[in-house]
Chains A and B, each alone.
Chain A
Amino acid sequence: MRPVRYIRARTVLEAVDAFAQARGNARYIAGGTTLYDLMKLGIERPTCLIDIATLEGADRIDTEGDRLFFGAGALMADVAETRSIVRDYPLLAQSLWKAASQQLRNMATVGGNLLQRTRCPYFRNGAAGVYPCNKRDPGSGCAAIGGLDRSQAVLGVSDACNAVSPGDWPVALTAMNARIELVGLDGARTVSIDDFYQLPGSTPHIEFAMAPGEIVTGITIPKTDAGRRSTYHKIRDRESYAFALASAAVALSMDGDEVRQAHVALGGVATRPWRASETEALLQGQTLTYERALDAARASFNGARPGAHNKFKIELGARTVADAIMIAARGTNHVA
């Protein structure tokens, strides 16, 4: 690991100033659960760390008014246990407590979690140059395509990259039409979560629609009664503390037995948090049965491009979505 300078910022402006002065080789650090891990692997090599975990008011959680607000510095554990979130938006709480371990949720922030990097084994195990990776070393190639690709994406893949977007929380935020608040050298702006995440295309090293030096300061979600009928359903190799093989965030607005509007997003199967638009459209106006839910779920996998070892994710993914739709429709599920 390279030597680093550590700076603790007290305000967002102080942090942005420090970034400008570091001339490109700085990274903001909040919980550090991704960044410090990647520094140990030699994948991230900053020479300056600007600590933004203790920015004034950065951990604010506000559920009053017509929208939900989560300060970027709020801990995953704290948002997961916010009473009104557990009650009114179970998919949000579940996406957090089904991620990582309690130790990591006590460290990691809901803003930093948006920027978690892929767990692709070729991305993580190649700092010494053993494996090429277009994300880590643009233009070097991709060892995962045609390699051991069981955990790789089937949706949104390109010829340059098939790494899975690892998050759970961003998938739930996609279903809930969240907006991301950013502050940078050129001031403040907000961006929809759909525009925030980038497809790999020919530039898989560009993952987020962020300018250098920008900081995620908050996340807002328009309030909806669909939150009450929602779930985050996550299928893993082991029952707890593992990344998703397939996951689904579902929230339903219902008129009696009929779906007025469905919010559906997928995790574990795609190169970015994936809005299941085809599924959402097919569910609208439908009276729910498992068969209809499964048909609607399958539609979102029509464009899937599996490799040699991950074809199972198409069927697993569709069934995960269908199960999630039926769980959400019951509207009675709660976190442990």
Chain B
Amino acid sequence: MSEQRHQGVVTFTRREVLEAGAVASFAGVTSSSAADAAAPARQAEHGITQRLSTRINGTAMALEIDARASLLDMLRERLGMMGTKKGCDHGQCGACTVHVDGRRVASCLTLAAKVDGREVTTIEGISDGKTLHPMQQAFIDHDALQCGYCTPGQIMAAIACVREGHASSREQIREYMSGNICRCGAYIGIVNAIEQAARQTERT
């Protein structure tokens, strides 16, 4: 990934986000009868470049992206930030939850182009140096996970849930966390963790 830093802004030049491998390999195929026979069914679709300025976890970034890209794919495939997970890629599981301007959203259904001029926070941006966010610590304290794949999304949703004022009872926590699926079924620990973190937040 080519990257330049100037005036505190990280700038990325364009790289294919979607179908990067397929596009590159087809571009390199020279015309032959075999290639002609195989090529028409699998035509490379070159994206249209979109410029974008955003802040991710406090760092200003200027990027050129494929206009089709999701915020999730931009974070993972383009910026190498693998903390945010791809589960269903259709807004049904919550694994990709991040905050945009402080509100939780499904990054898989957020067009990356839409975060121009906005602030994105991911799981990588919530700890204070080596000190975990109280919600991260609460998930550890309550064993609120097994495989951990849904956990970054759960934690980002949980932080927002408390901030919104939707963590006043176990029933309310369950309702407002229903967009985050845990296939391991660690829900009891998750609700316990959120209750603890909500109490801590009240005290501070």
The listed residue with most A CB atoms (<10 A of its CB), out of B68, B116, B164, B174, is B68
Are A104 and B179 in contact (CB-based, < 8 A)? yes
Total A-B pairs in contact (CB under 8 Å)? Answer: 91
Would you list which residues of chain A between 100 and 121 have a CB under 8 Å from chain B? Answer: 100-104, 106-107
Please tell me the size bucket of the interface on A. 20 to 34
Nearest chain B residue, comparing its CB with the CB of A37? B90
Please determine whether A6 and B67 come into contact, CB atoms closer than 8 angstroms: yes
B175 touches A107 (CB 8 A): no
Return chain A residues, CB-CB under 8 Å to B164.
Answer: 102
User: Which residue of chain B is the closest to A238 with respect to CB atoms?
Assistant: B178
The reply to whether B67 and A51 form a contact with Cβ atoms under 8 Å apart is: no
Task: Tell me the B132-180 residues at the A interface (CB within 8 Å).
Answer: 157, 160-161, 164, 166, 171-172, 174-176, 178-180
Interface residues in B60-79 (C-beta closer than 8 Å to A) = 66-68, 70
B67 shortest CB reach to chain A, Å: 4
Contact B179 A3 (CB under 8 A): no
Segment of B3-11, B28-36, B103-111, B189-197 in the binding face = B103-111
Minimal beta-carbon separation of A238 from chain B (angstroms): 8
Bound form: Cα–Cα A20–B111 in Å: 23
As a 0/1 sequence over residues 33 to 56 of chain B, the CB contacts with chain A under 8 angstroms (1 = contact) are 000000000000111101000000
Q: Is the CB of A6 within 8 A of B111?
A: yes
Which residues of chain A (53-83) have a CB below 8 Å from chain B?
A: 53, 77
Q: Establish whether residues A101 and B179, one from each chain, have CB atoms under 8 Å apart when the complex forms.
A: yes
Interface presence of B91 (CB below 8 A): yes
Contact with B along A31-67 (1 / 0, CB 8 A): 0110011011000000001010100000000000000
Interface presence of B199 (CB below 8 A): no
**In the complex the two chains form, what is the Cα distance from A11 to B70 in whole Å?**
25
Tell me the nearest residue of chain A to B117, going by C-beta: A54
Instruction: Fill in one digit per residue for B75-96: 1 if any A CB lies within 8 Å of its CB, else 0.
Output: 0000000000000011100100
Known: A102-B166, A103-B94, A240-B175. A49 touches B105 (CB 8 A): no
Asked whether any CB of chain B lies closer than 8 Å to the CB of A2, the reply is yes
Chain B contacts of A4 at CB under 8 A?
Answer: 48, 67-68
Residues of B within 8 A of A106 (CB): 103-105
Q: Which residues of B contact A104 (CB under 8 A)?
A: 91, 106, 109, 179
Q: Does B183 contact A (CB under 8 A)?
A: no
Q: How far is the CB of A189 from chain B (nearest CB, A)?
A: 29
| CB of B121 within 8 Å of the partner chain | no
List residues of chain A with CB within 8 A of the CB of B178: 101, 239-241
Q: For the complex formed, measure the closest distance between the CB of A220 and the CB atoms of chain B, giving whole angstroms.
A: 27
CA distance A188 to B89 in the complex (A): 37
Cα separation A3 to B66 with both chains bound (whole Å): 8
Report A-chain residues with C-beta under 8 Å of the C-beta of B97.
103
Q: Interface centre among B70, B94, B97, B111, by most A CB within 10 Å?
A: B111
Inter-chain CA distance A51–B111, complex, in Å, is 10
Distance between A167 CB and nearest chain B CB, rounded to angstroms? 16
**Of listed B113, B114, B164, B172, residue having the most chain A CB within 10 A:** B114
| Contact with A336, one of B106, B113, B171 (Cβ below 8 angstroms) | B171
**Can you give 24 A-B contacts (C-beta < 8 A)?**
A2-B45, A4-B68, A6-B67, A6-B111, A6-B113, A32-B110, A32-B111, A33-B106, A33-B109, A49-B67, A51-B111, A101-B91, A101-B94, A101-B106, A101-B179, A102-B104, A102-B160, A102-B161, A103-B105, A104-B109, A107-B110, A240-B175, A241-B178, A336-B172
Spell out A's residues near B (CB within 8 Å). 1-6, 8, 29, 32-33, 36-37, 39-40, 49, 51, 53, 77, 100-104, 106-107, 239-241, 336
Please provide the 7 A-B residue pairs with the shortest distance between their CB atoms, ordered closest to farther: A101-B179, A240-B178, A241-B178, A6-B67, A106-B103, A6-B113, A103-B106
